[in-house]
């Protein structure tokens, strides 16, 4: 078969429809390949070889063309949220020496690094860079190869019932690994996807799911909260065949809802687990197990392998019901992280990914997450590195402690300064897009500490819960 | 329905919007539309619906939830449920 990835094989699907647009126009695979090649020749002319590009990845035709063009002509591309603030974009440009930023319209804006970029040698196997934390503009990006992207798209096509006659919808942003995996897997299968920018909570979006006979819906836990509020189970959508969920564990009430939804609609719901570090998907729960095993992440995707290791000794754990760090091996494991321009020229290849999640294996082979080793939260599907946030906030106030769970971020500080609350709120709102209902600010006389002098995050969480319940 | 009650409903609506969107009461006017300000995003919309259902003790239909594209539209929809403005 010709080509290194689905992006190189677009032509094979000929006149089949690849992209649908809200105005009812369609783009065939052949047309998409041509558009991508035209754009590639522009990129080749304008952008220095071996340099890094960034794309404001909106769910629009021009952005998708730019993405596929970069994959086809081998330009390393960092995916950005379409609305990433200029300040955060600039910080990334400086940190990674990005030569040019492609706007959603396809317009190429060369940066101050366009000249130094001639000297830059981004590792040739690095095709794509994704932020580890959605839109927060985290300095840490994940480097993915073409093989990573291709392997994960194929694995997804293996376990999800994607058919060439399907039409997906951009229910999730494309710069986010889960949203991107929907585009990739549908293009890999010769299916089509409707590119919509209509928000999940809009009339337009739901009209489109009906008018375009959308065959699947995706969602992070927050999306399922919306689906519940919209009473999705009562919406007639005969074309809808299945649903998928990823981007964090569902709480118990949402788990109940998803089980009900699946049985009311008589349609399978795939609960999935993954990380951007593994391109997107790592594991999934076969939908027939959803009523009984919704608390499990299930089994590894085709071609992947899950294992448990002792968090300290790193020894393999083989016994059932024994807690260990969940590790993953597979062709979709990233090349490595890039936090600065030098990292882009690294040569190492990661073979095993430590997920930072604590899990156990059931005798039937299913894996269940029971905790988390590293300090991050996943709020609305977006990963929030707590240590990184503490650093960010320490500019405003010091000491400051961040903890919480996937539903509530807790920020505690001691300084008594009336304007401080507003300043912290501003950071959380503008940089992390967090609604005040998703966090709790605590002004304390002293921050609780453990006997070893380290912050007592458990005590903080308890305090926050008490004050949250009270007020 | 008395004018007083209508005024109360307007005030309740304004408070509900201001709470869900986390903006000042003074920013809430009939023309304010979904996605026209960054504060009114999907999260805020979800909280807004919960707030309105709670404050006016109604259960909104799916079509009405996704149709609530502005403050004026919210009033129009709520009046179908017997809330007068």
Q: What is the DSSP string of chain B?
A: --HHHHHHHHHHHHHHHHHHHT--GGG--TT-BTTTSTTSSHHHHHHHHHHHHHHTT----HHHHHH--BHHHHHHHHHHTT---
Determine the residue of chain B that is closest to A201 in CA distance.
Answer: B42
User: Model confidence at A467, in pLDDT bands (50, 70, 90)?
Assistant: confident
State mean pLDDT over A213-225. Answer: 94
> Tens of pLDDT along A439-462?
999 999 989 888 777 788 888 988
* DSSP-derived 3-state class of residue A105: coil
pLDDT of B12 > 60? The answer is yes
Q: Which CATH architecture has domain A380-470?
A: 2-Layer Sandwich (3.30)
Q: What is the DSSP string of A433-446?
A: ---GGGEEEEE-SS
Q: What's the pLDDT score for residue B27? A: 92
Whether residues A202 and B43 touch (CB distance < 8 A) is answered with no
Determine the residue of chain B that is closest to A236 in CA distance.
Answer: B62
Whether residues B42 and A201 touch (CB distance < 8 A) is answered with yes
Q: What's the pLDDT score for residue A228? A: 93
Instruction: Provide the pairing of β-strand A192-194 with A52-56.
Output: unpaired
> Tens of pLDDT along A324-343?
999 999 999 999 999 999 99
pTM of model > 0.90: no
Rg from Cα positions in chain A: 22
Q: What's the pLDDT score for residue B1? A: 54
Whether residues B62 and A231 touch (CB distance < 8 A) is answered with yes
Interchain contact B3–A (C-beta under 8 A)? no
Q: What's the pLDDT score for residue A215? A: 98
Distance of alpha carbon A70 from the chain centroid: 20
User: Model confidence at A303, in pLDDT bands (50, 70, 90)?
Assistant: very high
State mean pLDDT over A381-409. Answer: 87
> Tens of pLDDT along A230-254?
999 999 999 999 999 998 889 889 9
- By CB atoms closer than 10 A (0-12, 13-18, 19+), residue A324 is buried
Q: Which CATH architecture has domain A6-371?
A: 3-Layer(aba) Sandwich (3.40)
Span of A76-80, A91-95, A289-293 with lowest mean pLDDT:
A91-95
Q: What is the DSSP string of A2-16?
A: -SSSGGG-GGGGTTS
Domain map (residue ranges) of chain A: 6-371, 380-470
Count of CB contacts below 8 A, A vs B?
50
C-alpha to C-alpha distances, A445 to A118, A448, A453, nearest whole angstrom: 54, 9, 17
Q: Residue A127 phi/psi, 5° resolution?
A: -100, -35
CATH fold of the domain at B3-80:
1.10.1200
* B36–chain A nearest CA distance, Å: 12
Residue A199 is nearest to which of B42, B47, B62, comparing CB atoms? B42
Residue A226 is nearest to which of B46, B63, B69, comparing CB atoms? B46
Picking from A435, A441, A471 by the largest number of B CB atoms within 10 A of its own CB, the best residue to mutate is A435
User: Model confidence at A471, in pLDDT bands (50, 70, 90)?
Assistant: low
* A429–chain B nearest CA distance, Å: 9
Q: What's the pLDDT score for residue A458? A: 87
State mean pLDDT over A22-31. Answer: 98
pLDDT of A135 > 50? The answer is no
Q: What's the pLDDT score for residue A466? A: 86
Q: What's the pLDDT score for residue A138? A: 59
User: Model confidence at A23, in pLDDT bands (50, 70, 90)?
Assistant: very high
CA distance A322 to A94: 45
Query: What ranges in A203-329 are assigned the alpha helix state H?
Result: 203-211, 221-229, 252-265, 290-293
Whether residues A437 and B65 touch (CB distance < 8 A) is answered with no
Query: What ranges in A177-244 are assigned the alpha helix state H?
Result: 177-189, 203-211, 221-229
What are the structure tokens assigned to A61, written together? 């035709």
Whether residues B42 and A229 touch (CB distance < 8 A) is answered with no
Q: Which residues of A touch B65 (CB under 8 A)?
A: 201, 229-230
State mean pLDDT over A169-180. Answer: 96
pLDDT of A103 > 70? The answer is yes
Percent share of chain A, pLDDT over 90: 73
* B7–chain A nearest CA distance, Å: 28
Q: What's the pLDDT score for residue A453? A: 73
Whether residues B43 and A437 touch (CB distance < 8 A) is answered with yes
pLDDT of A367 > 90? The answer is yes
Q: Which residues of A touch B47 (CB under 8 A)?
A: 435, 437
Determine the residue of chain B that is closest to A225 in CA distance.
Answer: B46
User: Model confidence at A134, in pLDDT bands (50, 70, 90)?
Assistant: very low
Q: Which residues of A touch B41 (CB under 8 A)?
A: 199, 433, 435
Interchain contact B33–A (C-beta under 8 A)? no
User: Model confidence at A378, in pLDDT bands (50, 70, 90)?
Assistant: confident
User: Model confidence at B28, in pLDDT bands (50, 70, 90)?
Assistant: very high
pLDDT of A306 > 60? The answer is yes
Domain map (residue ranges) of chain B: 3-80
* B67–chain A nearest CA distance, Å: 6
pLDDT of A1 > 60? The answer is no
Residue B62 is nearest to which of A234, A380, A435, comparing CB atoms? A234
Picking from B37, B41, B46 by the largest number of A CB atoms within 10 A of its own CB, the best residue to mutate is B46
Interchain contact A433–B (C-beta under 8 A)? yes
* A437–chain B nearest CA distance, Å: 9
Interchain contact A224–B (C-beta under 8 A)? no
Whether residues A203 and B67 touch (CB distance < 8 A) is answered with yes
Establish how many alpha carbons lie within 13 A of residue B17's alpha carbon, considering only the half-sphere containing its beta carbon: 27
């Amino acid at each position: 078969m010709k080509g290194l990835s689905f992006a190189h094989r677009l032509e094979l699907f000929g006149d089949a429809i690849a992209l649908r647009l809200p105005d009812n126009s369609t783009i065939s695979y052949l047309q998409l390949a041509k558009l991508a090649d035209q754009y590639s020749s522009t990129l080749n002319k304008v952008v220095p070889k071996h340099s890094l590009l960034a794309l404001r990845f909106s769910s629009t035709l021009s952005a998708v063309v730019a993405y596929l063009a970069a994959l086809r002509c081998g330009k390393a591309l960092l995916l950005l949220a379409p609305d990433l603030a200029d300040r955060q974009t600039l910080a990334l440009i400086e940190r990674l020496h990005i030569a040019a930023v492609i706007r959603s319209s396809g317009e190429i804006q060369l940066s101050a690094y366009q000249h130094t970029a001639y000297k830059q040698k981004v590792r040739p196997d690095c095709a794509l860079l994704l932020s580890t934390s959605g839109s927060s503009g985290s300095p840490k990006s994940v480097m993915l190869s073409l093989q990573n992207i291709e392997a994960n798209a194929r694995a997804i096509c293996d376990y999800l019932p994607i058919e060439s006659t399907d039409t997906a919808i951009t229910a999730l942003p494309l710069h986010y690994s889960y949203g991107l995996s929907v585009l990739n897997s549908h293009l890999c299968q010769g299916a089509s996807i409707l590119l919509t920018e209509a928000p999940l909570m809009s009339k337009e979006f739901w009209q489109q799911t009906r008018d375009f006979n959308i065959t699947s819906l995706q969602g992070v836990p927050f999306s399922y909260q919306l689906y519940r509020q919209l009473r999705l189970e009562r919406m007639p959508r005969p074309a809808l065949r299945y649903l998928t969920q990823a981007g964090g564990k569902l709480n118990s009430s949402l788990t109940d809802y998803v089980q009900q939804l699946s049985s009311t609609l008589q349609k399978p719901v795939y609960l999935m687990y993954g990380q951007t570090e593994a391109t997107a998907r790592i594991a999934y729960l076969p939908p027939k197990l959803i009523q009984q095993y919704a608390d499990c992440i299930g089994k590894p995707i085709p071609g992947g392998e899950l294992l448990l290791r002792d968090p300290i000794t790193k020894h393999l754990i083989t016994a059932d019901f024994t807690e260990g760090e969940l590790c993953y091996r597979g062709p979709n494991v990233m090349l490595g992280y890039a936090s600065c321009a030098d990292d882009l020229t690294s040569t190492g290849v990661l073979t095993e990914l430590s997920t930072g999640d604590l899990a156990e294996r059931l005798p039937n082979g299913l894996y269940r997450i029971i905790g988390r080793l590293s300090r991050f939260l996943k709020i609305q599907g977006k990963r929030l590195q707590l240590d990184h946030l503490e650093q960010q906030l320490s500019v405003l106030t010091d000491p400051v402690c961040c903890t919480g769970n996937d539903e509530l971020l807790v920020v505690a500080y001691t300084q008594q300064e009336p304007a401080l609350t507003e300043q912290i709120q501003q950071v959380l709102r503008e940089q992390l897009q967090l609604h005040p209902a998703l966090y709790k600010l605590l002004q304390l006389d002293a921050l609780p500490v453990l006997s070893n002098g380290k912050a007592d995050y458990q005590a903080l969480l308890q305090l926050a819960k008490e004050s949250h319940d009270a007020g | 329905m008395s004018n007083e009650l209508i005024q109360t409903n307007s005030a309740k609506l304004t408070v509900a919007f201001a709470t869900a969107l986390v903006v000042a009461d003074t920013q809430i006017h009939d023309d304010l539309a979904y996605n026209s300000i960054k504060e009114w995003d999907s999260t805020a919309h979800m909280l807004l619906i919960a707030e309105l259902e709670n404050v006016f003790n109604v259960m909104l239909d799916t079509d009405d939830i996704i149709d609530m594209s502005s403050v004026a539209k919210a009033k129009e929809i709520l009046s179908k449920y017997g809330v007068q403005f």
